[in-house]
Amino acid sequence: NSTLVCTNDDVYDMLLQLLNTQYFSETETSANCTPMKQPEKSRTNEIGRSIYAYVTPVILLVGILGNSLSLTVFLSRNMRNLSASSYLAALSISDMLVLILYVTVEWLKRGLVYLIPNTNLQFLDKDGACQTLLYIAYVLRFFSSWLVTAFTIERYIG
């Protein structure tokens, strides 16, 4: 019996394989999975990966510029006195950090590697770096959600 070993295979390819083939063999239990094989490249998969590879940097640029502008406005002298500005400034910071520490890292792993196949970004998958980036990304995304919740409650009370 062979067990499934997670490698640096592309997540999209693994999901495509899960959709196209039977994941568990009939004779094995859920504890022993069949090894993953490279799936066939479909036209839809290639189009989706191309869109992801080319559009994500545009989204990153617009998001970082927009959040920077929002942060500048909310920290301006006239806006600093409003309690809502504090929430929205913190939300801008949180969203910028999510864009930098989550979206950029995922694009480097999946989009840049698609555009430049020989790119070696193994340092992102090293023990410690991977877990730290993932933890920070989750904390920032939850923080962003809770800031929206707190802002909504504060505005309801106000």
Name the residue type at position 148: V
Name the residue type at position 19: L
Question: Can you give the pLDDT at residue 11?
Answer: 61
Residue 96 resides in a domain: yes
With a cut of 70, which residues of the chain have pLDDT below it? 1-40
Residue 21 resides in a domain: no
Residue 148 resides in a domain: yes
Rounded CA gap, 23 and 21, in Å? 6
CB 150 within 8 A of CB 89: no
User: With a threshold of 0.75, does the pTM exceed it?
Assistant: no
Domain span at residue 65 reads 42-157
For the stretch 93-119, pLDDT in tens is: 999 999 999 999 888 888 888 888 887
Residue 104 resides in a domain: yes
HEC profile for the chain?
Answer: CCCCCCCCCCHHHHHHHHHHCCCCCCCCCCCCCCCCCCCCCCHHHHHHHHHHHHHHHHHHHHHHHHHHHHHHHHCCCCCCCCHHHHHHHHHHHHHHHHHHHHHHHHHHHHHHHHHCCCCCCHHHHCCCHHHHHHHHHHHHHHHHHHHHHHHHHHHHHC
Residue 9 resides in a domain: no
Q: What is the mean pLDDT of the chain?
A: 80
Residue 31 resides in a domain: no
Question: Can you give the pLDDT at residue 65?
Answer: 97
Q: Domain total for the chain?
A: 1
Residue 87 resides in a domain: yes
Name the residue type at position 88: L
Residue 143 resides in a domain: yes
CB 129 within 8 A of CB 123: yes
For the stretch 63-79, pLDDT in tens is: 999 999 999 999 999 88
